[in-house]
Amino acid sequence: MERRDKRGRRIGRNWWREWIVDQLYCADHAWWLKREEEAIGYETEMKIFAEGNPRPTLKAFLIGHAGMHREP
């Protein structure tokens, strides 16, 4: 059964949301791998790494991709 909104329009999948979440997941995974490579599991080294290399956030991705379909 298809999902419909209150006006009867079909609700489809949101490709933009899927793309942003996929990009965020990949960036977050790369950040974790880099942190593990440099910190080798020591808590103080992990904190120092996180201070110099902030973890990717959804807000930063949304701001970074805002207006990407506009004319220059």
For residue 4, list its beta bridge partners. 10
Torsion of CA 18, 32, 55, 13, to 10 degrees: 10
CA dist 59 and 56 (Å) reads 9
Residue 39 has what pLDDT?
85
Residue 26: what pLDDT?
A: 96
What pTM does this model have? 0.71
Domain boundaries, the chain: 15-64
pLDDT tens series, the chain, 72 aa: 778 888 888 887 788 888 899 999 999 999 999 998 888 878 898 899 999 999 999 999 888 888 766 666
pLDDT of residue 27: 95
